[in-house]
Amino acid sequence: MTEATDLAAAAGSTDPRVGLRAVVALRRLLEGLERLQVANARAKGWSWQEIADALEVTRQGVHKKHARLLPMPDPRED
Amino acid sequence: MFERFTKAARAVVIDAQAQARELGHRPIGTEHTLLALTTVDMTGGDGAGAGGGYRVGNGAARVLREAGVDRDYVRAAIIRHAGDRSEAKAILDRDAEDAAALKAIGIDLEAVRAAIEENFGTGALQLVRPAPKKKGLLGRFSSATSGHVPFSPRNKKALELSLREAIRLKQNFIAPEHILLGILREGQGLAALILAERGVDFDALRDDLTRSLRAPAA
């Protein structure tokens, strides 16, 4: 997997195991990026609607997926 | 209920898992939650520890410290009771497998990670591996952090009692102080034993925690 030729071969591989494994890894990366960026947007004061528009999904969808991962503000911190 | 946990309270629950994992213990008991309560530091900019800013994040740590219970003491007590089975964990291996699979389609995971960490800090990017669907409070906690270590029934009970404590105090948020109140109310765990061994007065501790929760913002 170190040579460029190996990479190219793997990328075009017709072996489902190789291709599907790449899909799984890509999904994990995607979900990680999404969490990071949604949290960042919320921290910067974006509304759920604004985030949903940017992600091209519904507000309800993005809220359902991410709201529980983000902390409730402690009222004493204001 | 989970939605009510403050940032500091979430950090405590997550850190309890980390503490148990680091010690090689399972399940996660009240003692690991207690250890997390003494460990999680939400001081933010107030590094000097000068009263004011400190209390807000994790007041439970301050109250415990004033009662003579700090992280080193709790950790030593846990090891004395339950032993130390620390082991390096295999999360890195699984990340390495994903990195290899991504490399096969021309994505350099380390390059992606480096670009993100440049702006968001070390450890900002975590590959998401959804755990099997679990119901209820603790399922949510453990799937949120890829933990395979379950919470003990007693620890779950103590965390659920933290909600009861918040309701009793007519507060709509659950802070670290509530978690410790939950542990005290449950009363049967290793955490309570460790506190008792230290000679902590439970009633006084409860009063201090309640005072911390009711103190106005600095």
In the three-class reduction of DSSP (H, G, I as helix; E, B as strand; rest coil), residue B129 is classed as: coil
Neighbours of B1 (CB within 10 A): 13
Let me know if residue A62 belongs to a domain. Answer: yes
Of the candidates B140, B158, B137, B138, the residue with the CA atom closest to the CA atom of residue B150: B138
Is the pTM here over 0.90, yes or no?
no
B66-88 pLDDT tens trace? 999 999 999 999 988 887 665 44
The residue in chain B having the minimum alpha-carbon distance to the alpha carbon of residue A73 is B6
Question: What percent of chain B clears pLDDT 70, i.e. is strictly above it?
Answer: 78
A29 part of a folded domain:
yes
Residue of A nearest to B121 (CA): A36
Of A18, A22, A35, nearest to B128 by CB-CB distance is A35
The residues facing B174 across adjacent strands are B5
**How many structural domains compose chain A?**
1
- Using pLDDT thresholds of 50, 70 and 90, give the confidence band for residue B205: very high
Mean pLDDT throughout B12-34? 92
Q: Which CATH superfamily is domain B2-87+132-214 in?
A: Clp, N-terminal domain (1.10.1780.10)
Instruction: Print the domain residue range for A65.
Output: 4-70
Residue A19 belongs to some domain of the structure: yes
| Contacts with A45 (C-beta within 8 Å, 6 or more apart), sequence order | none
A22 interaction partners in chain B (CB closer than 8 Å): 101-102, 104-105
Task: Chain A: give the shortest CA distance to residue B174, in Å.
Answer: 9
Tokens of B24: 């090689």
- The Cα–Cα gap between A54 and A41 comes to 10
Q: What is the ipTM of this complex?
A: 0.71
Which residue on chain A is closest to B110 by alpha carbon?
A29
> What confidence score (pLDDT) does residue B89 get?
43
**pLDDT for residue A9:** 58
> Across the interface, do B101 and A22 touch by the CB < 8 Å criterion?
yes
Q: Could you read off the pLDDT of B162-195 as tens digits, one per residue?
A: 999 999 999 999 999 999 999 999 999 999 999 9
Query: Do the domain assignments include residue A57?
Result: yes
pLDDT for the residue B217: 56
B211 to A30, B12, B55: CA distances (angstroms): 44, 20, 11
Amino acid (one-letter) located at B84: D
In-domain check, residue A15: yes
